[in-house]
Structure 1
């Protein structure tokens, strides 16, 4: 059994992590849920350390890196937060993994698989060598910025397309297209997977490998067979947009924020 501690100051995010842990194919047990630096330090000083800590970076009383300065943490660390693509690389160097919120089932499962490839001695050494100054510098004074528009090339001219005008993105034969609410389609120079990190997560959800949908484009959601969901959107498409069973729960939570 893998023992888990969750350090997260938002109760909905705590619940989401617990639910996602239940969905992955690992025998896990949450032995602690903390919501601040102070409570986490006290907990680590007085309790056996878990195998893995799911750690949000920005807590109500400061950056969670302070925990490591005040307590010797022997657990593997998986950061769970939202930040830019450049910071992700630094966090991955200093932890088992870095997962963008909302944490998806497949990504959490992959992080746990990585955990099995490390031994405890390596994890303790990694924690002691963690570069707090580099990580903190990526966070302090910086604000997450998502795309506001895309540069679109059309024949021999170009123009900007505001993100709020885009109803959905879809991928076909390796090309990603933006579809506006006015039913116009334009190619954009991003893969669908890379594009996900550039869009405001409150407004856009990556449904599957083919579609990212704007919440304003969704008219209704219908139950589908085998626990799947079918989207009814404001555009008429030849292909149905289906939310798989593995993403159905997180999609509903996204709608209910």
Structure 2
């Protein structure tokens, strides 16, 4: 087991791909909700809080910080700047602007800083063309070993 800030992660002796977040717990008022990751268009940081915007334009409070989300998220998400982590499904189009930056046209992104900084442009273009795979509309199937390990953790934690 590894303790990393506020996160506790299981480690495995077997060489396998790390577990990827499938759902995230968010808040709306007093309710705690479980939202599938594939429904989140982007996360943004504002006034020392992190929020998630979903594909139906709902905004939820998220207790996790952007750095934790960035580490645990699948390749379908990309941190475009210090304030925003975006799902490739949220991007309608993009255009080049001054100083070799990219401005994103994003679903429900009005009023947000949807700018990819010039130091991230090359990795953004590579990501959008090759790497953004797991946040598709269809859920990803977990390999059998991951399913087994997840179930074992649930059994041992109760």
Q: Same fold (TM over 0.5)?
A: yes
Q: Given the alignment, which residue of 154, 177, 183 partners 2:51?
A: 177
Equivalent residues in 2 for 1:104-123, closer than 5 Å: none
SS in structure 1 at match of 2:110:
coil
Change (3 A) 1:156 1:244: closer
CA RMSD across the alignment: 2.2
Report which structure shows greater RCO (CA 8 Å, sep ≥6).
Answer: 2
Structure 1 Cα separation of the partners of residues 55 and 25 of structure 2: 17
Structure 2 Cα separation of the partners of residues 253 and 87 of structure 1: 32
Q: Look up the match of 2:14.
A: 140
Q: Look up the match of 2:83.
A: 210
* Equivalences, count: 124
Does the Cα contact within 8 Å between 1:170 and 1:212 map onto a contact in 2? yes
Q: Structure 1 length normalisation: TM-score? A: 0.45
Any gaps of 5 or more consecutive residues in structure 1?
Answer: 1-84, 89-136
User: Which of the pair is proportionally richer in helix?
Assistant: 1
Structure 1 Cα separation of the partners of residues 13 and 101 of structure 2: 38
1:49-85 Cα offsets, whole Å, 9 max, x none, are xxxxxxxxxxxxxxxxxxxxxxxxxxxxxxxxxxxx9
Structure 2 Cα separation of the partners of residues 247 and 87 of structure 1: 29
For residue 140 of structure 1, report the CA deviation from its aligned partner: 2.1
Structure 2 Cα separation of the partners of residues 155 and 239 of structure 1: 22
Task: Please tell me whether Structure 1 or Structure 2 has the larger radius of gyration of its CA atoms.
Answer: 1
TM superposition outliers: structure 1 runs of 4+ over 6 Å: none
Q: Look up the match of 1:256.
A: 129
Structure 2 Cα separation of the partners of residues 138 and 153 of structure 1: 31
Q: Structure 2 length normalisation: TM-score? A: 0.71
Structure 2 Cα separation of the partners of residues 238 and 170 of structure 1: 12
Does residue 55 of structure 2 align to residue 191 of structure 1? Answer: no
For residue 238 of structure 1, report the CA deviation from its aligned partner: 1.0
Does residue 112 of structure 2 align to residue 239 of structure 1? Answer: yes
Q: Given the alignment, which residue of 193, 200, 205 partners 2:74?
A: 200
User: Which of the pair is proportionally richer in strand?
Assistant: 2
For residue 141 of structure 1, report the CA deviation from its aligned partner: 4.3
Any gaps of 5 or more consecutive residues in structure 2?
Answer: 5-10, 131-158
Structure 2 Cα separation of the partners of residues 221 and 87 of structure 1: 38
